[in-house]
Structure 1
Amino acid sequence: MSETQTQLPTDTWIPASWQEYLQVLTKLEIDKAKSYYYKGYMRLEMAPVSFDHGQDHVIIIFTVTLFTTLKEILARGLDTTTFRKTGVRECQPDVAYYLRERAQSIPSGTGIVNLERYPAPDLVIEIAKTSLLDDLGTKRSLYEELGVAEYWVVDVQNAQIIAYTMADQGSKRIQESQVLPGLVIAILEEALRRSRETSQSEVCAWLMCQFQKQEG
């Protein structure tokens, strides 16, 4: 990759050394871009984010936070945070959660999360509209190797969630969260569908009722 290259293709994996990747991040000042590095390739995903992507992002964060609150599960959610294993892998998932004893594992004031010092998130979520195939493919392999316990891909166009449990650098489809037992994926999908037709506050009230019924 030429050091004088000023325009790089986005939403695709291109070959680059780790040093070239860091130089691109510095020179292009891509504060509003998501960046990934995996097996000698880099990927940039640029703003803007669509309306549907944005609203699904909000619903997913609310749902997980509400569920963990009602279940009294310690949780720390992170929005588009950089996780790095220097020279090897880097990612910026849309949403990530540390749960239970790991919720306080990273101190406030931390910048890029160094995965040689801190654990990988328990749950990683990508909100996919134009990046769906990559989220299901290469990024899933990336998160498997990082040691993420569970991975969800939100298919914005179809209001569908493809969820995987991960172990031993492999993954398997699930219909109920393993890191948040009792959280059924179908409930999440119904919340996404309802958000297309009604306000988010009404969707949140509906979710509250569903989770409280589980307690009854």
Structure 2
Amino acid sequence: MEKPNTRAASPDIVLYISEGIPQWQEGELRRINLSQWRVPDLVGEVGDTTLATDLDEKKQIYADLSIPEYWVIDVKGKRVLAFRLQADGKYQQCASSVTLAGLSISLLEQTLERLSEGTNISAAGWFAQAIASLSATG
């Protein structure tokens, strides 16, 4: 993901919602040129040894690129730090996702905890069931 002559980054997670999703032609490099395509709705970094960088330098890069929502997944700490870009161009930590219709960040953290206790499949199943019950009650 790059904005030529400005900044570039390679997030671990890139999420587009709705229209304006980058499309590539065969043989093209898989880069998102932000002068050609709109910014993603959400980007994320999975932090283990890079946590300090993800919360400092990368956070600033994504703010400079005007990414509306930024997540840092702290693997060791089993937590998700979610940030929403404010009008002043700075991120503020948030407890739920705006991009993913109010998804509680604590639900993601509970899923990380389940990953450490069981298998990926069991954690994914639990998460899917939790999302389904939210949809049914909301």
TM above 0.5: yes
Where 2:15 maps in the other structure, the secondary structure is strand
User: How far apart in 2 are the matches of 1:135 and 1:89?
Assistant: 15
TM-score, normalized by length of structure 1?
0.58
1:182 shift after superposition: 2.9
Per-residue CA deviation, residues 35-62 of structure 1 (Å, 9 max, x unaligned), is xxxxxxxxxxxxxxxxxxxxxxxxxxxx
Aligned counterpart in structure 2 of residue 177 of structure 1, from 97, 101, 109: 97
What is the root-mean-square deviation of aligned Cα atoms in Å? Answer: 1.2
1:212 aligns with 2:128: no
Where 2:2 maps in the other structure, the secondary structure is strand
* Alignment: residue pair count: 132
User: How far apart in 1 are the matches of 2:86 and 2:63?
Assistant: 7
Q: Which structure is higher in strand share?
A: 1
User: How far apart in 2 are the matches of 1:215 and 1:162?
Assistant: 23
Per-residue CA deviation, residues 135-180 of structure 1 (Å, 9 max, x unaligned), is 1111111101101010000111111011000133211110100111
Aligned counterpart in structure 2 of residue 106 of structure 1, from 5, 19, 22: 22
User: How far apart in 2 are the matches of 1:211 and 1:144?
Assistant: 29
1:131 aligns with 2:50: yes
1:205 shift after superposition: 1.2
1:215 shift after superposition: 2.2
Q: Do the aligned partners of 1:144 and 1:167 also contact (CA within 8 Å) in 2?
A: no
1:124 shift after superposition: 0.3
Aligned counterpart in structure 2 of residue 146 of structure 1, from 58, 65, 75: 65
- Matching residue's letter, 1:96: V
TM-score, normalized by length of structure 2?
0.90
Tell me: higher relative CO, structure 1 or 2? Use CA pairs within 8 A at least 6 residues apart. Answer: 2
Per-residue CA deviation, residues 80-129 of structure 1 (Å, 9 max, x unaligned), is xxx11222211100111111223xx3113352211111111110010001
- Matching residue's letter, 1:151: Y
Where 1:117 maps in the other structure, the secondary structure is coil
Any stretches of 5+ residues in structure 1 without a counterpart? 1-82
Aligned counterpart in structure 2 of residue 189 of structure 1, from 109, 127, 134: 109
Higher Cα Rg, which structure: 1
User: How far apart in 2 are the matches of 1:96 and 1:208?
Assistant: 20
Residue 88 of structure 1 aligns with which residue?
6
Q: Do the aligned partners of 1:147 and 1:167 also contact (CA within 8 Å) in 2?
A: no
